[in-house]
C-alpha cells in the first residue's frame, strides 16, 4: 500500500503547480518510478488528476481553494451528529455490560 505521507505531500505540490506527473513525484520525494506511478494512479482514481495524456503531465482537477477546503474539513473536529452517535454507542455498551452482570 502506498504510504499516505507521500500522497499528502504530493497533493500540496501538485495543487500549487496545477499539474502532476510521475517524474515530478520521483524528483520531489526521491521514490522510484513504480511508487510514483501508483501515487499518480491513486490521485486519478480519487478524481484529483485528469487522464493520462501521453508524456505530458496530468492536469489537476482540484483548485487550490478546493484543496484548502478539503484539508480544513479533514482537520475539523467531529460533527455534532458523529459525537451523538459515539455517545449512544458508549451508553449502549454500558447498558449491555450492566445487563450481563
Residue 97 lies inside a defined structural domain of this protein: no
Which of 46, 34, 36 lies closest to 10, judged by CA? 36
Q: What is the CATH number of the domain that holds 42?
A: 1.10.10.10
Residue 49 lies inside a defined structural domain of this protein: yes
Whether 66 has a pLDDT exceeding 80, the answer reads yes
Please give the average per-residue pLDDT across 78-97, as a whole number.
67
Please give the average per-residue pLDDT across 28-35, as a whole number.
88
Whether 1 has a pLDDT exceeding 50, the answer reads no
Residue 80 lies inside a defined structural domain of this protein: no
What's the pLDDT score for residue 2? 52
Number of domains the chain is built from: 1
Q: Give residue 19's domain range.
A: 4-62
Which of 60, 34, 63, 35 lies closest to 47, judged by CA? 60
Judged by phi (left if over 0) then psi (alpha if -120 to 50, else beta), residue 78 lies in beta
Provide φ and ψ at 59, rounded to 5°.
-80, 140
Please give the full DSSP string across 19-65, using - where no structure is assigned. EE-HHHHHHHHT--HHHHHHHHHHHHHTTSB---BTTBPEEBSS-HH
Residue 48 lies inside a defined structural domain of this protein: yes
Residue 17 lies inside a defined structural domain of this protein: yes
CA distances from 15 to 71, 96, 100 (A): 12, 49, 54
Amino acid at each position: 500500500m502506498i504510504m499516505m505521507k507521500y500522497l499528502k505531500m504530493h497533493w500540496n505540490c501538485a495543487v500549487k503547480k496545477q499539474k502532476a506527473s510521475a517524474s515530478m513525484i520521483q524528483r520531489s520525494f526521491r521514490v522510484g518510478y513504480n511508487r510514483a506511478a501508483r501515487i499518480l494512479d491513486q490521485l486519478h482514481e480519487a478524481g484529483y488528476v485528469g487522464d493520462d495524456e501521453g508524456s505530458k503531465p496530468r492536469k489537476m482537477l482540484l483548485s487550490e481553494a478546493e484543496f484548502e477546503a478539503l484539508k480544513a474539513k479533514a482537520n475539523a473536529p467531529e460533527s455534532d451528529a458523529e459525537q451523538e452517535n459515539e455517545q449512544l454507542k458508549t451508553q449502549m455498551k454500558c447498558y449491555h455490560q450492566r445487563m450481563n452482570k
